[in-house]
Chains A and B, each alone.
Chain A
Amino acid sequence: MSQAFVIEVDGLYKYFDQFCAVDNLRFQAKRGVTTALLGGNGAGKTTTIAMLLGLLTPSQGQIRILGEDMLQHRYRLLHRMNFSSPYVDLPQRLTIRENLTVYGHLYRLPRLKLRIEELAGALRLDTLLDKRYGQLSAGQKTRVSLAKSLLNEPELLLMDEPTASLDPDTADSIRSYLEQYQRDTGASILLASHNMAEVERMATDVIMMRKGQVVDTGTPAGLLAKYGRNNLEEVFIDIARHKEPA
C-alpha cells in the first residue's frame, strides 16, 4: 500500500439483503488533492462514503485510510478525518457554539474555545454563534456543518454535496474556503457532488460510479477529452446513459 494514497478501496461489496449497493468497488484517492466521487442517484456514493466513515459495515472488501485498515483502526482514524453533509443534521435546539463545543469535546480538542472562534470568523459565523441551529438558514447550516467538520483539522475530509441548496455566492465562498484549507494543511478531500461546475473547479481526480461500480476514472480534463465533451455534466450524462467514450 502506497503513502501516495489517502484512500485505498479494494474488492468492496455492500449487500442490503439481496440488493447489491456496492459491487466489487476498487479505487484509490491521492493525498493532498480533491477527488470527486460522481454518479447518479443510487450509484452507491453515499453507501461508499458511509463505509469509509465506519458508519456502515462492508459485506466484504478492504478499506485503507491514511495507510491504515479502517475496519481495524476505525477510532484511531476517526480522529484524523471528518465529514460534512447537509443531509445529516445537528441538534436544532442547541446554539452553534454549543454544537461545536460538544463536537470539540468528542474530538478531545485542546484550546477548543479559540478553535471555535477561529472557525466562526473564517466561515462568517461569528455573529451567529449564540443562535440556535434550528433558526439558521440552509446556507448558514451548511457553514456550521462545515465548521463542525473542520474542528479537528482533519487530514481527510469527506463531503457529501457540500454546497447543495446554497446560493452561488455562499457556495463560492465555501469552495474558496475549502481550497484555502487544503492549501494551508495539505488535507485530502473526497467530494460527492452533483454539481459538475463545482467538481471541475475543485477536483484533481474524478471517479465515476454506476450501479455500485467504478465505471471510469481520470482528471476532469482527461475525461472531457476521452468522451469528446465540453463539460463534465455532458460526460456525467453519457456515463449515466451507458454511452461509450467517443
Chain B
Amino acid sequence: MSYVDAGYAIALSVLFAYSVGLVARRRRLARAVAVAAEDDAFASAATVAAVEGESGGDEPARGGGG
C-alpha cells in the first residue's frame, strides 16, 4: 500500500467511524431521554398518589380531633 492510499484510507475511515459513532450516541441518548421522561411521569404520578393517599388518611383523624 502506498503512502497516498494509506492517507486516504486512514482519514476517510476515521471520519466515517466517528460519524457512525455520533449517530449511535445520538440514538442511545434519544432512548435515554424517552426513558427518563417516562420515569419522571411515573415518579410524579406515584408521588401525587402517595401525597393524596396520605392527605386522605389524615382527614378522618383531623375530623375526629377537631
Q: Do these two chains really belong together in a complex?
A: no
